[in-house]
Amino acid sequence: MTIREIAALAGVSRSTVSLVLNESPLVKKETREKVLRVIRETGYVPNASARSLNWRSTRCLGIIVLSDQQRGPNYDFSMPIGLFSLNVMRGITSRLADSPYSVFVEYYSYEQEQAEKVSKQSPLTLPRLIRERKIDGAFLVGGFCTEGLLSAAAATGIPLITVGVGADTPLCDSVISDPAQGTRDGLMRLYESGRRDPALLNCPRTFRSAAMREEGMRRFCEETGLHFKPENVMYCSRHNNGENAYEAVKAAWESGVRFDSLITANPGLALGAMRYFAEKQLRIPQDISIVAYEDNAMCGYVTPPLTAVNIQKERMGEEAAELMLRRLAEPEMKNQLVVVPSYLVERASV
């Protein structure tokens, strides 16, 4: 007798039988009783190796926050803001509140990974929660996830879910937004307001989403008949922060590049650009209109408040947590890709 046969006799899914066997509170009382009755009547005994795996379960999940730079002791605009991960974590922990799982959080920087690869003194060091197998599953949260890190983490056999902009991968489950579509939608709003010479302020090329945003701008230009100008796509040179955004816009403007509107990869980059525009006495939105991708709390605080593309980060976290519970209950399930839709929030910067 197998779990599949028990599920068929009880009229439930294999994952439901697994949840019952693992004493999960997620199963309704009447469903649990029905499954247990079938188990008693058939004399089913769980596989010994499955019992062993269950015994080793930590009942803990890890949230690995991926950053392109190490965090410092100050709060200047050269530091990562971290609101993306905080918003996603809120969604994850909200969905897991009624589950039997606790959550650990670990921060892992791209700079750390690169330094270890360059030194060649040792193989890539995985995040500690994964390396020491302190968790039953991990959420990799962030706008980038390098192939080296992802491959090494997937090789451990620990269930993984990437949660971030453009972080879809065949190696594990993924919950993402669509940065190409979101960029296109933001640019279309600028077009509808009368702007005809837009620019894109992008994150570093190390982020998977960077190329997708540029593709979104190309698609927008094709739809509207505008000429795509490569010089109007600015990339942060090293880090995804306000300081690098300021430098990218300054370099473009001082080289003679001009534009009447701007969409940025996130609000932090928008604030970096706005600092430069303030120095040049350029008014927003009168001289330059701005739309930020990935709406967050800063957009409502800045002057003028930023029109932004909301990618529903809390919902992304909730979807990721739901997917993780399914994955743990049914390990053989095919890898899933969940795309959370975005929408535009109108404020005063357009």
Topology adopted by domain 179-310: Rossmann fold (3.40.50)
Tokens representing 154 are 């997937």
The second-level CATH assignment, the architecture, of 60-177+313-341 is 3-Layer(aba) Sandwich (3.40)
Least confident segment among 111-115, 222-226, 343-347: 111-115
pLDDT digits (tens, 9 = 90+) for 128-187: 999 888 899 999 998 777 788 888 899 889 999 999 866 678 899 999 999 999 999 999
pLDDT tens-place string over residues 212-261: 999 999 999 999 999 999 999 999 998 899 999 999 999 999 999 999 99
On the question of pLDDT at 78 being above 80, the answer is yes
Cβ atoms of 325 and 99 within 8 Å: the answer is yes
Strand partners, 22: none
CATH entry, 3-55, from 2.60.40.10, 2.60.40.650, 1.10.260.40, 2.160.10.10: 1.10.260.40
| Lowest mean pLDDT across 20-34, 201-215, 244-258, 321-335 | 20-34
Averaged pLDDT score across all residues of the chain: 89
3-state secondary structure of 292: strand
Helix (H) or strand (E) holding 293: strand 289-293
Q: How confident is the model at residue 20 (pLDDT cuts 50, 70, 90)?
A: confident
Domains 3-55 and 60-177+313-341 share a fold: no
pLDDT, greater one: 302 or 55 = 302
pLDDT for the residue numbered 113: 57
pLDDT > 70? residue 271: yes
| Sheet strands side by side (includes 137-141) | 102-109, 60-67, 137-141, 160-163, 173-176, 337-339
Q: Kindly tell me the sign of the dihedral angle through the C-alpha atoms of 218, 141, 345, 234.
A: negative
Spell out the domain ranges in the chain.
Answer: 3-55, 60-177+313-341, 179-310
Q: How far apart are the first and last CA of the chain?
A: 64
For residue 252 the two structure tokens come to 């473009």
Q: By the 8 A CB rule, do 175 and 340 touch?
A: yes
Q: Mapping DSSP to helix (H, G, I), strand (E, B) and coil, where does residue 141 land?
A: strand
Predicted local distance difference test score (pLDDT) of residue 88: 97
* Strands 102-109, 137-141: pairing kind: unpaired
313 is written with which tokens? 């980060």
- What's the average model confidence in pLDDT over 272-297? 97
In this predicted model, what pLDDT tens digit does every residue of 46-70 receive, in sequence order?
A: 654 444 444 457 899 999 999 877 7
| pLDDT above 80: residue 24 | no
